[in-house]
Amino acid sequence: MYETWDLTIPEIPTRTRLYPLEPIGKGTPLVEGLTSYILRLADAHSVPVGILVNREVVPLRPAAQRRGRWKDRREPRSPTVSLTSYSINGLEDGPWRWVQALEAATLRKDLSQLTLLCFRGFFCYIHFFRRVRAWCPSCLEEWRITGKTVYEPLLWSLSLAKVCPYHRCCLADRCPSCHRQMAPVTSDSRPGHCARCCRWLGGADGDATTQSESIYPLTPLEVLRSEKLGELLACTSQLRGGVLRRNFLHNLRKCVGELFRGNGAAFAHFVNCPASAVEYWLRGVCIPRIHRFLQICIRLEVPTLAFVSNPSQEETVDWSSLASRIDHDRPVRRYRRKDETLRALELAVRERPSPSLREIARRLGYSGTEGLRGVAPEICKQITKRFENSFAPEPYHKGPRPRICAATRVEAALRKSLAQRTPEPVAQIAVRLGYASPSPLQGQFPDLCRTIHAKLVSGKKTRLKVMRRIVIRALDESPPPSLRELAHRLGYRDKKIIRRYFPELNVALIEHREAHEQSKFRQLRSRLQGILCEQPPPSVGEVARRLRLSSSTLWRRFPDLSRSIGARSPWRRKKS
């Protein structure tokens, strides 16, 4: 009978000091925050948060690594630790020590997923968290009604998240009962309850707006930003800290290369970020702050994972398929380092057939050639010289020079221009087809070129006639328009256009305007003299408002009268 007895001691799993509560919402946008986990732990043990933290968690915290002149000092192990901010959900040394202590107490291994620790060394921690507690009343109410565990998602603690991504309402930060704000965690906090009056914080839809500080309507950007933040938090379990910087750099370069042909400035323009910042990101000098990071993902309409996932794994985003969304209509000057431009110029010197300097500037994204001349004036001179020489007669042994453009193509271009209402000038067509001047075209098709020129001249005559009529009509207006305004009406930006085509009308306009100004001045002066006799005497500011002028204009244009009005003003009399 004794043989059947098993005398080996059964293996007993290690006991935990605190209940190993399962974190809620792992892998979803509403993943629980570490602050909420602490609140729930205290609630489960029926003790205030302050007591649980100070008696059970603080003694297990690893000592802080002190550097520099703080090295020799011991960490103050005060019996009470103030737990008032959301920063323990963060990405620095402090949150890491809290996670270590709580994992030691609960023997869980996944508590770092309740913080942003995986973004350590990637995002900058400044301005990450709210200073006061925030919540979605609808979420809290829903969980209470459906009997789910009440907790506080990590998302609610982030200052960038203004909206609940599920209910699309503003997060509340004022207790509906006592109308006060509260610190994120206090000694007596309980999940879903006010830390000041202990009442329930949940409510029906729409309560959020009354409990929130914000009186402004939600913008679509705020909703999108909260959704993207949720998306980022949902993948904290998949991300490996440390390699995020490298992944980001790789993915960003790929995106800029495939969508914007490597033009960082065009990318910056599209995502609405400073071009210099993008240049730094592309060089790997720094990483965007979180709001910029979200802005990029929102603008490109890609998941946040697209920039932080491992590039060697299966692609999360097919960049080339996004190209249709990007419009390249607006040319954006590319930011280029000096040495890059220099290299391009050196290559261009050796190019056959020799390109013009303008052509090289166009290829490199410059609007003129000045930028190139600033980088390497000597090389630019060489390029220009080579380009000019390429038109000189070649030595006979090289055979006849090849045609620049077939005669049929030239003729087609000229006829097409002539068919237009405002034809393209011959010189412009010549440059477009690769000629340096219009003379080869004029030599080949003299009649066509002459007709185009005649059409252009007659078009200009008609245009000037219409313009003259507009200017003459403006002379009768009261008040007469300014020269700049009139130029705008004529379709030009520069007011000199009027003097250039209608010098006599320009003089008449100026005289007319001066006469008008003088009569206005006289009228104002007589009104001011009338005001001087008024009882009770008004102040200068009041007079200026009545005349629809600013006080400074009044003082500048009528210094003597302003002084008299000021002397009579009630304020001055009271003072004396």
Write the CB contacts of 474 (distance below 8 Å, at least 6 apart in sequence). 480, 481, 486, 489, 509
Q: Which of 23, 104, 95 is nearest to 60 (CA)?
A: 104
User: Quick one: which segment of 172-180, 295-303, 403-411, 439-447 binds Zn ion (CB under 5 A)?
Assistant: 172-180
Tell whether residue 136 is a contact of Zn ion (CB under 5 A): yes
CB 483 within 8 A of CB 471: no
The stretch among 106-114, 194-202, 277-285, 304-312 that binds Zn ion (CB under 5 A) is 194-202
If the CB atoms of residues 153 and 288 are measured against Zn ion, the closer one turns out to be 153
197 touches Zn ion by CB under 5 A:
yes
- The verdict on 196 binding Zn ion (CB under 5 A) reads yes
Pick the stretch among 61-69, 168-176, 259-267, 405-413 that binds Zn ion (CB under 5 A): 168-176
Q: How many CB atoms lie within 10 A of CB 528?
A: 19
In this chain, which of 158, 194, 278, 528 binds Zn ion, going by CB under 5 A? 194
Indicate the residue among 56 and 141 with the shorter CB distance to Zn ion: 141
Rounded Cα distance, 361 and 352, in Å: 17
The residue whose two tokens read 């005559």 is 461
Min CB(169)–Zn ion separation in Å = 7
Give CA angle at 149 (145, 152), nearest 5°: 105
DSSP per-residue letters across 460-517? HHHHHHHHHHHHHHHHT-SSPPPHHHHHHHTT-S-THHHHHH-HHHHHHHHHHHHHHH
**How is residue 283 written in tokens?**
């060089």
DSSP string, 41-110: HHHHTTS-HHHHIIIIIGGGSPPP---GGGTTSPPP--S------GGGGSSSHHHHHHHHHHHHHH--S-
In terms of CB distance, is 166 or 435 closer to Zn ion? 166
The CA distance from 562 to 418, in Å, is 65
For position 166 contacting Zn ion by CB under 5 A, the verdict is yes
- Residues in CB range of 493: below 8 A, 6 or more apart: 487
Burial of 152 (0-12, 13-18, 19+ CB in 10 A): buried
Segment contacting Zn ion by CB under 5 A, of 6-14, 53-61, 191-199, 408-416: 191-199
Half-sphere exposure of 511 (CA within 13 A, CB side): 6
Least distance CB 570 / Zn ion (angstroms): 50
Window contacting Zn ion (CB under 5 A); options: 158-166, 316-324, 337-345, 486-494: 158-166
The nearest distance, CB 182 to Zn ion, in angstroms, is: 7
- Nearest Cα residue to 520 out of 491, 485, 549: 549
Which residue, 167 or 455, is less far from Zn ion as judged by CB?
A: 167
State how far the Cα of 359 lies from the Cα of 345, in Å rounded to an integer: 11
Is the Cβ of residue 140 or residue 561 nearer to Zn ion in the bound state? 140
Which of 16, 80, 177, 523 is in the footprint of Zn ion by CB under 5 A?
A: 177
190 versus 245: smaller Cβ distance to Zn ion? 190
Nearer to Zn ion, 208 or 441 (CB): 208
Query: Rounded to whole angstroms, how far apart are CA atoms 115 and 86?
Result: 10
Is 553 a binding residue for Zn ion by CB under 5 A? The answer is no
Residue among 182 and 486 whose Cβ is closer to Zn ion:
182
- Least Å distance, CB 175 to Zn ion, is 3
Is 189 near Zn ion (CB under 5 A)?
Answer: no
- Cβ proximity to Zn ion: between 156 and 293 the closer is 156
**Residue 269 interacts with Zn ion (CB under 5 A)?**
no
Which range binds Zn ion by CB under 5 A, 47-55, 73-81, 110-118, 166-174?
166-174
Per CB under 5 A, 357 contacts Zn ion: no
CB of 51 to Zn ion, least distance (A): 22
Rounded to 10°, the helix 446-475/426-433 angle is: 130
**89/138 with CB nearer Zn ion:** 138
User: Least Å distance between CB 164 and Zn ion?
Assistant: 3
Before 353, cis peptide (omega within 30)?
yes
Nearer to Zn ion, 153 or 264 (CB): 153
Half-sphere exposure for 61 (CA within 13 Å, toward CB): 22
- Toward Zn ion, which CB reaches closer, 43 or 141? 141
Here the tokens at position 56 are 């059970």
Of 39, 118, 175, 379, the residue at the interface with Zn ion (CB under 5 A) is 175
Q: Which stretch binds Zn ion (CB under 5 A): 151-159, 186-194, 240-248, 426-434?
A: 186-194
User: CB 290 → Zn ion: shortest distance, Å?
Assistant: 21
Q: Closest approach of Cβ 180 to Zn ion, in Å?
A: 6
Q: Which of 26, 144, 167, 334 binds Zn ion (CB under 5 A)?
A: 167
How many alpha carbons fall within 13 Å on the CB side of residue 299?
16
**In this structure, what are the phi and psi dihedrals at residue 312, rounded to the nearest 5 degrees?**
-75, -25
Can you name the residues that pair with 200 across neighbouring β-strands? Answer: 193
Identify which of residues 145 and 533 has a Cβ nearer to Zn ion in the complex. Answer: 145
Does 232 bind Zn ion (CB under 5 A)? Our answer is no
Interaction between residue 139 and Zn ion (CB under 5 A): yes
**Smallest gap, in angstroms, from Cβ of residue 201 to Zn ion?**
8
CA distances from 508 to 89, 475, 511, 512 (A): 74, 8, 5, 6
Among 87, 106, 138, 236, binds Zn ion (CB under 5 A): 138
Distance of closest approach, residue 178 Cβ to Zn ion, in angstroms: 3
# of chain residues touching Zn ion (CB under 5 A): 12
Interface residues toward Zn ion, by CB under 5 A: 136, 138-139, 164, 166-167, 175, 177-178, 194, 196-197
